[in-house]
């Protein structure tokens, strides 16, 4: 007769082991998360909340749902093939198609790095009165040091720590703000496009669903170096990867939502539209106290440094893929990708006259490139030649196609609104 208590104990051990297995897979998704809680997001979200209150929260929800599907799918590419998105494009597409696509992705990486470095520089200006351009050089130098002198696993731990601190910062800010939670709940699920909001809507989309993150996730999901020849191992990876992606994207959704809610509760309620990150920090002092302003600036600095690291890694992955190589920060092609992404962004910053608008436009530029990356991903992950038995099924193909067409439609709406202006 079976021992009931022994059986119960075995089941308990299996549940504990399963939970520990999931923890082992957590990490790559959080590196992606820091990419969409970057300073560009701060600018887009503060503009959304201060201009339209809680009305545009639905865009964070929609963008995050899109992101979960896209990041989960592109991680499958890395797991099933051992190739990142850039390498797969180079290997499976004609050069006449893959090279322009990948160079446009490099441009998106530069646009991303611009926002990250600029945000970090703005934070240094808030905290220590350091001139913007000097701060930008300091942030770039620190990020280059972190990227070129640390291993991936150490960087992963740093980034997870940064994400945790940023999240705690916004929990503190929300505790101080007079939030209208019923209005926020309605905003999360009620689509609306107020007059004149199209640029901000697209910047929120580009700030959440970021092209460089799709390239990066397909690369770093391979960091654990599991055996790609063992089908059982691949299936286990695919199973636990979704837990990492879902958890990480929900963390990002919560932090992005918190930014808009804070701006809606403090600035929109006071009838003030935020046009500078420094202005937002200064205005928090009379509204919520000096500590809120300091926490805001410190969290922005963390976000700027952490997301600059991930955008530099993405640039390295994309550029190395042009030569059919994986990311390796000791390799010259990967290092050149880092330099292009960060130093080109730094150069552009020296010519920007309106930093806040520069952040907004940089995020909008990402949304313009995004459909090209989505349709590239859709083609590769739906191909049995590329993915074998792990190619997209009909339902996944439908979802990816719907996302790609939605983003393309919103880009056309943006173009028409700009031409109309």
Residue 56 in contact with residue 260, Cβ under 8 Å? yes
For 73, residues 6+ apart whose C-beta sits below 8 A from its C-beta are 377, 381, 392, 396, 400
Q: Which of 348, 321, 298 is nearest to 140 (CA)?
A: 348
Sign of CA dihedral 162, 167, 168, 173: positive
Q: Which of 70, 28, 17 is nearest to 225 (CA)?
A: 28
Question: Under CATH, which number does the domain 32-420 receive?
Answer: 1.20.1740.10
How many C-beta neighbours within 10 Å does residue 100 have?
A: 11
- Return the residue matching tokens 């930008």: 136
pLDDT tens for each residue of 176-196: 788 899 999 999 999 988 888
Angle at 307 between CA 115 and CA 251, to 5 degrees: 115
Reduce the secondary structure of 304-323 to three states and give it as a string.
HHHHHHHHHHHHHHHHHHHC
Q: Inform me whether the pLDDT recorded for 23 exceeds 60.
A: no
Spatial distance between the Cα atoms of 364 and 368, rounded to a whole number of angstroms: 7
Q: Inform me whether the pLDDT recorded for 229 exceeds 70.
A: no
What is the 8-class DSSP label of residue 328?
Answer: -
Alpha helices in 177-289 (DSSP H): 181-189, 198-208, 211-220, 231-263, 277-288
- Hey, is 194 helix, strand or coil? coil
Spatial distance between the Cα atoms of 344 and 111, rounded to a whole number of angstroms: 9
For 188, residues 6+ apart whose C-beta sits below 8 A from its C-beta are 57, 58, 60, 61, 257
290-322 vs 28-35: helix crossing angle, rounded to 10: 110
pLDDT tens for each residue of 49-84: 999 999 999 999 998 999 899 999 998 898 888 899
Spatial distance between the Cα atoms of 119 and 101, rounded to a whole number of angstroms: 27
- Residue 2 burial (10 A CB sphere; 0-12, 13-18, 19+): exposed
Domain ranges of the chain: 32-420
The pair phi, psi for residue 160, each rounded to 5°, is -60, -40
How many C-beta neighbours within 10 Å does residue 343 have?
A: 16
Query: Can you read off the two tokens belonging to residue 88?
Result: 């797969």
Q: Inform me whether the pLDDT recorded for 119 exceeds 60.
A: yes
Q: Which of 98, 111, 119 is nearest to 368 (CA)?
A: 111
pLDDT tens for each residue of 322-352: 999 988 888 999 999 999 999 999 999 999 8
Q: Residue 392: its pLDDT value, please?
A: 94
Q: Residue 173: its pLDDT value, please?
A: 75
pLDDT tens for each residue of 347-387: 999 998 888 777 777 777 777 888 899 999 999 999 999 99
Residue 237 in contact with residue 131, Cβ under 8 Å? no
Residue 55 in contact with residue 194, Cβ under 8 Å? yes
Spatial distance between the Cα atoms of 241 and 320, rounded to a whole number of angstroms: 24
Spatial distance between the Cα atoms of 101 and 95, rounded to a whole number of angstroms: 10
Residue 33 in contact with residue 163, Cβ under 8 Å? yes
CA 46 from centroid of its chain's CA atoms: 17
- How far CA 181 is from CA of 186, 188, 262, 284, 410, in Å, comes to 9, 11, 11, 20, 28
Query: Can you read off the two tokens belonging to residue 188?
Result: 């999360």
- Return the residue matching tokens 């991930």: 310
Please give the mean pLDDT across all residues of the chain.
Answer: 82
pTM for the full model?
0.82
- Return the residue matching tokens 């006071």: 270
Determine which of 152-156, 206-210, 218-222 has the lowest per-residue pLDDT on average.
152-156
Q: Would you mind telling me the total number of residues written for the chain in this entry? A: 421
Query: Can you read off the two tokens belonging to residue 70?
Result: 């896209």
pLDDT bucket at 391, cuts 50 / 70 / 90: very high
């Amino acid at each position: 007769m079976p021992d009931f208590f022994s059986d119960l104990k075995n089941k308990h051990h299996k549940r504990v082991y399963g939970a520990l297995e999931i923890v082992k897979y957590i990490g790559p998704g959080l590196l992606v998360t820091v990419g969409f809680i970057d300073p560009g997001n701060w600018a887009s979200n503060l503009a959304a909340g201060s201009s339209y209150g809680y009305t545009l929260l639905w865009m964070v929800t929609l963008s995050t749902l899109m992101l979960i599907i896209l990041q989960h799918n592109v991680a499958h590419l890395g797991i099933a093939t051992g190739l990142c998105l850039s390498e797969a494009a180079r290997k499976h597409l004609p050069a006449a198609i893959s090279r322009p696509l990948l160079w446009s992705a490099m441009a998106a990486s530069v646009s991303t790095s611009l926002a990250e470095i600029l945000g970090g520089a703005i934070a240094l200006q808030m905290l220590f009165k350091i001139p913007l351009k000097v701060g930008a050089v300091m942030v770039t130098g620190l990020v280059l040091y972190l990227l070129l002198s640390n291993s991936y696993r150490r960087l992963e731990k740093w980034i997870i720590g940064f994400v945790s601190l940023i999240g705690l910062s916004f929990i503190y800010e929300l505790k101080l703000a007079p939030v209208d939670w019923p209005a926020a709940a309605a905003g999360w699920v009620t689509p609306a496009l107020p007059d004149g909001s199209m640029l901000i809507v697209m910047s929120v989309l580009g700030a959440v669903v970021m092209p460089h993150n799709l390239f990066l996730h397909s690369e770093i999901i391979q960091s654990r170096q599991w055996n790609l020849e063992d089908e059982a191992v691949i299936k286990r990876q695919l199973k636990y990867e979704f837990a990492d992606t879902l958890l990480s994207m929900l963390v990002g959704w919560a932090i992005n939502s918190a930014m808009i809610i804070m701006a809606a509760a403090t600035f929109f309620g006071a009838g003030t539209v935020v046009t500078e990150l420094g202005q937002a920090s200064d205005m928090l002092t009379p509204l919520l106290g000096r500590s809120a302003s300091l926490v805001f600036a410190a969290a922005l600095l963390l976000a700027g440094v952490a997301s600059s690291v991930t955008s530099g890694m993405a640039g390295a992955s994309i550029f190395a893929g042009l030569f059919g190589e994986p990311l390796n920060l000791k390799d010259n092609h990967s290092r050149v990708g880092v330099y292009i992404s960060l130093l080109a962004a730094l150069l552009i910053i020296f010519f920007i006259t309106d930093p806040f608008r520069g952040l907004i436009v940089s995020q909008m530029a990402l949304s313009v490139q995004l459909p090209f990356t989505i349709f590239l991903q859709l083609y590769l992950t739906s191909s049995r030649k590329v993915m074998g038995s792990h190619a997209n099924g009909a339902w996944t193909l439908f979802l990816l196609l719907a996302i790609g067409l939605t983003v393309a439609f919103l880009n056309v709406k943006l173009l028409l609104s700009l031409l109309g202006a």
